[in-house]
C-alpha cells in the first residue's frame, strides 16, 4: 500500500500534538523523460484542459444535465500517474473524473457523448458526468458517493492479489473524502493484507467550500496511511 498526496504548495506542516513546524519529507529525484514522453504528457494535459473548458461552457448553456465537476488545474496529477502504470492496472476515482478518463485513453468524444446523454457515450448516456466506466481501458468509474471509490479500489487490489497477478489498483480521492470512515478502513485492510494499491490524494485544500484546515486536524493527509 502507498499513499501519495498532491498539493498546490506544501513544504511545512504542524504536528497536532506539539505544534512544532517540521519539514515535509524530502522529495525523490525527478524522473527523466525523453522528448516524446514530454510531448505526449503535455498533449494529454492540454486535451483535458480544453475538454473541461468546453464542458464548463456547455454546462452553462444547459447542454449537460445533472452535475458537472471540472478537473481544471489538476491535469498533471493523473497524467503523471498514468505514465507510471502499465496495461492491466486499474484506476478508480470520485466525481471529478473527466480528466482521469481521458488520461486512461478513453476518447474525448465518447466522454462528451456521455455528458450530453447520448447513446454512444461510455455508459450509453445513462451515467452522466459521475458514473462512466470502461473495463477495456482499466477505468472503473467515477463515483458520486464521496469516498466510496476508495473501498472499491481496495477491492480491485484484493482481486489482483487473489488472482496472483502483478497489477496495481490506483484509487484517487480528494481531501474531503479523506475524512470518510471507509477511507480509514480501506487503509487498514490494505496494510493488513499487503494489497497492491496506490491511494492518490488530490488535495486542493477545499472540500466543496470547506477548507481542510477547518475539517482536518492533520492537514498532511498522506501521513494517515
Share of the chain above pLDDT 70, in %: 88
CB-CB contact of 137 with 104 (8 Å): yes
pLDDT per position as a tens digit, 40-89: 999 999 999 999 999 999 999 999 999 999 999 999 999 999 999 999 99
pLDDT digit string (tens) for 34-48? 999 999 999 999 999
Cα 61 from Cα 47, distance rounded (Å) = 21
Share of the chain above pLDDT 90, in %: 72
pLDDT at residue 4, as a whole number: 67
pTM here is: 0.82
- Looking at residue 164, its pLDDT comes to 95
- Which of 27-41, 89-103, 174-188 is modeled with the greatest confidence? 89-103
Residue 165 has pLDDT above 50, yes or no: yes
- Domain residue ranges in the chain: 2-6+32-224
Thinking of the domain 2-6+32-224, which architecture would CATH place it in?
Answer: 3-Layer(aba) Sandwich (3.40)
Q: What is the mean pLDDT of residues 214-219?
A: 76
Amino acid at each position: 500500500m502507498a499513499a501519495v498526496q498532491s498539493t498546490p504548495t506544501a513544504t511545512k506542516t504542524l504536528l497536532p500534538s506539539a505544534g512544532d513546524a517540521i519539514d515535509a519529507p524530502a522529495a525523490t529525484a525527478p524522473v527523466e523523460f525523453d522528448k516524446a514522453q514530454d510531448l505526449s504528457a503535455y498533449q494529454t494535459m492540454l486535451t483535458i484542459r480544453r475538454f473541461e473548458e468546453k464542458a464548463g461552457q456547455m454546462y452553462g448553456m444547459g447542454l449537460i444535465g445533472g452535475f458537472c465537476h471540472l478537473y481544471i488545474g489538476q491535469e498533471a496529477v493523473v497524467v503523471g500517474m498514468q505514465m507510471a502504470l502499465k496495461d492491466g492496472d486499474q484506476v478508480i476515482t470520485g466525481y471529478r473524473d473527466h480528466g482521469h478518463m481521458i488520461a486512461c485513453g478513453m476518447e474525448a468524444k465518447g466522454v462528451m457523448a456521455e455528458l450530453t446523454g447520448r447513446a454512444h457515450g461510455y455508459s450509453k448516456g445513462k451515467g452522466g458526468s459521475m458514473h462512466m466506466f470502461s473495463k477495456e481501458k482499466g477505468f472503473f468509474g467515477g463515483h458520486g458517493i464521496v469516498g466510496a471509490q476508495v473501498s472499491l479500489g481496495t477491492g480491485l487490489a484484493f482481486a489482483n492479489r487473489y488472482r496472483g497477478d502483478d497489477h496495481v489498483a490506483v484509487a484517487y480521492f480528494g481531501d474531503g473524502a479523506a475524512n470518510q470512515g471507509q477511507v480509514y478502513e480501506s487503509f487498514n485492510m490494505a496494510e493488513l493484507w499487503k494489497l497492491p494499491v496506490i491511494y492518490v490524494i488530490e488535495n486542493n485544500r477545499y472540500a466543496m467550500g470547506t477548507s481542510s484546515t477547518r475539517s482536518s486536524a492533520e492537514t498532511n493527509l498522506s501521513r494517515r496511511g
